[in-house]
Amino acid sequence: MVVRGGYGIVYDPLTGIEQDWKGLSNFWPATGSGFTNAPINQLGQPLTTVEETFSTVGTRLPDPSPWSQTSWFMDPHHKDARSQQWNVEIQRQMGASLVASLGYVGSKNDRLDLTGLFNTAQTPGPGTPDEVNARRPFPWYKVTPFFGTSHGSGNYNALQAKLEHRFANGFQYLVSYTWSKSIDVGSSGWFDVENGSGGGAFSGFQNYYDPHGSRSVSSYDIPHFLSMSGVWELPFGRRKQFLNGGVASWVLGNWQLNGVVQLRSGQPYNLAVVGDVANIGNTLSFVNYARPNLVGDPQPSHRTLNQWFNPNAFAVPAFSYGNFGRNGLRSASVYNADLSLFKSFPVSERFLISFRAEFFNVFNIQNYGIPNALIGVGGAGQVTSNVLPPRQMQFGLHLSF
């Protein structure tokens, strides 16, 4: 039994040992079927024995049918992830307040977390359930567990350019651009948490026994990213170049305009098909591991929200994995602009009141999300969500002293 999370002392009457478990409080059941939050040994409460936790976390012994339970396992030879990174940058002073830079950033990563459906049939194809079980590495274990390994790998390369005007005379701006590519094997992280949105999250790692068959751009790969930001203190008002006294100074002075604009490429996503189409003995109905076959042009002649990609260009495989690559399609590009306007009202040497008007997605751009990526079901290819919310405005007063 493993104890984790929290803080306290666990007393084991079998050994008579009290152990200080710093950062430990959640018990994994002995069957390995999951875990239960079990807060124990709270401050001011009597000590909790191991036996007293059995009603919460199960028993020490497995169930009568231990080989029929879906479980989560970790490779006992799991290694810590490793990353080798390098970069070079050239900077040029363009003026008293202006700096330009151009750089290259790269990394090579291995021993990354890679989690997939283990104990499936090692080869797809027709067959009865008994014949499929015979193709499993452990045929007596007739369910599909998750198995985490450190077999993942990836690399990242980027060209980064930047133009920065440091704050001077009430003006500052920063323009940066990144052209990059991130490639990896699987990109599943812990239980597919990095496989992105859409219906094909699990299909990012289609065949557990062929990891390199899922090598492609990462789900977080953004080839182009342009970011621009700026601050401009208008030259009116107290201690400014113009209108630094009188009523005009009070009304028109001490305004500050701020803006952030970001333009980036869309996000890659996976397509998936429903069911155990490769007939590998998958017992998890919520896991759509297989990708479809490509049989036509996935790009529609006229892209709309009802058909972001052409679902008729794909077919459901039969007794095989799909041939369409991982992350083969991308969502729409994302454009966003935020704007804010501040005005300061100096009350005295010690007090300052600021009025703030902030506008998020000021142009109310509709940035479309990832379409329905399940092939063979209704609504495939339709976009029903946005990446960012519509325009939002907020106003406030801020007192500084």
> Where are the chain's structural domains?
3-64, 82-400
> pLDDT at position 16, please?
39
At 8 the three-state DSSP class reads strand
The backbone torsions φ and ψ at residue 217, rounded to the nearest 5 degrees and listed phi first, read -65, 145
**What are the helix and strand counts (H, E) for the chain?**
3, 22
Give pLDDT, residue 235.
Answer: 81
Question: Helical H runs in 192-288?
Answer: 246-252
Q: What is the pLDDT of residue 43?
A: 75
User: How many CB atoms within 10 Å of residue 17?
Assistant: 9
Type and span of the H or E element at 229: strand 224-233
Tokens of 37: 């939050």
Tokens encoding 308: 């972001």
Tokens describing residue 40: 């124990």
Q: By CB neighbour count within 10 A (0-12 exposed, 13-18 middle, 19+ buried), where does 278 fall?
A: buried
Buried b (16+ CB within 10 A) or exposed e, 128-160: eeeebbebbeeeebbebbbbbbbbbbbbbebeb
- Exposure letters 196-208 (e unless 16+ CB within 10 A, then b): bbbbbbbbbbbbb
CB 176 within 8 A of CB 227: yes
Q: Are 325 and 216 in contact (CB under 8 A)?
A: yes
Asked if 273 contacts 290 with a C-beta cutoff of 8 angstroms, the reply is yes
List per-residue pLDDT tens for the chain, 401 residues long: 333 333 333 333 333 333 433 333 333 333 334 444 556 777 777 887 766 766 655 555 666 666 777 777 888 888 998 999 999 999 999 988 999 999 999 999 999 888 888 899 999 999 999 999 999 999 988 888 888 888 899 999 999 999 999 988 888 999 999 999 999 987 666 666 666 665 566 888 899 999 899 999 998 899 999 999 999 988 876 667 676 666 666 677 788 999 999 999 999 998 999 999 999 999 888 888 999 999 999 999 899 999 999 999 999 999 999 999 999 999 999 999 999 999 887 777 778 888 999 999 999 999 999 999 999 888 999 999 899 999 999 999 888 88
Structure tokens at 19: 């152990």
